[in-house]
Amino acid sequence: MDLTDLEIFARVVNAGSLSAAGREMGLSPAVVSKRLRKLEDRLGTRLIQRTTRQIALTEAGQGFYERVVAIMAAVGEAEAFVTRRSDRAEGLLRVSAPTSFGRMHVAPHLGPFLAAHPNLSVDLDLSDEFVDIVGEGFDVAIRIGELDDSSLVARRLADVHRVLCAAPGYLDRAGRPDGVAALARHVCLAARHQDPWRLEGPEGPVVVRASGPIATNSSEVVREAVIAGLGIALRSTWDVGAELSDGRLEIVLPAFRGSRRVAVHAVYPSRTFLPAKVRLFIDHLAVLYAEPYWDRGLEAVLSGGG
């Protein structure tokens, strides 16, 4: 049974006429009469006696009206309940994030977020693989990369600056490459999912196949290896900004950077009926990352790098 037909019936009774009910609902008297007749035909009984001047409920109509009023009140209460829940952050928020980024730039900011929303708890799952958000039941995922087209919704949170870098000790031993081609004579460090390197240089995009004695699925292993002086790596400033600032790492081939299409995104299943807990969490990160704090103090290093 169509709830709209029930609402029309109740409005006709309350307003005292078909035309008055139609004005309240933005419908013509003819449409109101047609919908009312459809309802009576479905029920197999007359609900309202109509005259040119007034209407009167039949005995069946009176009993039906009382029950329709109760139904419409229950529907209104149900809508209000859902609306209240959608405006309030509560329950469990399941978040997926890359291992290093989650540890360095998500976990430290959970305290203020949870303090602002005491009825909320967070399950933060760290992995360098792109998880199946819907299949594994995540509310939102933080992803870094060039996103493929999909049914998921993505909100760009921050640009990512990626530079080729190495420890000064390594460069003193192995020499400083004078061009992209020279990288073939160097130890290049990359996790499996980060190979090949897609660079942008003065003459456009360049693809470099990273090769070296270390194979790993962990971006954190690569980070520790490059700091330890084991080779050259393509790293994000959010990851090695401190080491670039204090000189433990230096930029190599500064005219070449990682693809500018790579960014930090919040990815979630649907834009429709986005739960408050997801919206508020994404907004929280968006404010933090709007002007990435991890790039503060690196202006001279990055500009000096060309």
Same domain for 145 and 268: yes
How far is Cα 300 from Cα 275, in angstroms, rounded to an integer? 42
Question: What's the total number of domains in the chain?
Answer: 3
CATH of the domain at 61: 1.10.10.10
Give percent above pLDDT 90 in the chain. Answer: 42
Nearest to residue 292, comparing CAs of 105, 109, 119? 105
How far is Cα 266 from Cα 144, in angstroms, rounded to an integer? 9
Same domain for 268 and 124: yes
How far is Cα 142 from Cα 282, in angstroms, rounded to an integer? 9
CATH of the domain at 285: 3.40.190.10
Same domain for 201 and 57: no
Same domain for 118 and 74: no
206 has a pLDDT exceeding 90: no
Asked if residue 114 belongs to a domain, the reply is yes
What is the residue range of 7's domain? 3-86
Cβ-contact 244, 251 below 8 angstroms: yes
Same domain for 233 and 268: no
Same domain for 95 and 70: no
Same domain for 191 and 155: no
Please provide residue 55's backbone torsions phi and psi, each rounded to the nearest 5 degrees.
-125, 160
N-term to C-term CA, the chain: 69
Same domain for 70 and 20: yes
Q: Which of 86, 104, 126 is the last residue of a domain?
A: 86
Cβ-contact 229, 165 below 8 angstroms: no
Nearest to residue 94, comparing CAs of 129, 128, 136? 136
At 270, is the pLDDT very low, low, confident or very high (cuts 50, 70, 90)? Answer: confident
83 has a pLDDT exceeding 70: no
Asked if residue 303 belongs to a domain, the reply is no
Same domain for 177 and 112: no
CATH of the domain at 169: 3.40.190.290
pLDDT tens for 26-41 read: 888 889 889 989 988 9
Q: What is the dihedral of CA 51, 54, 58, 62, to 10 degrees?
A: 160
Mean pLDDT value of segment 68-78: 82
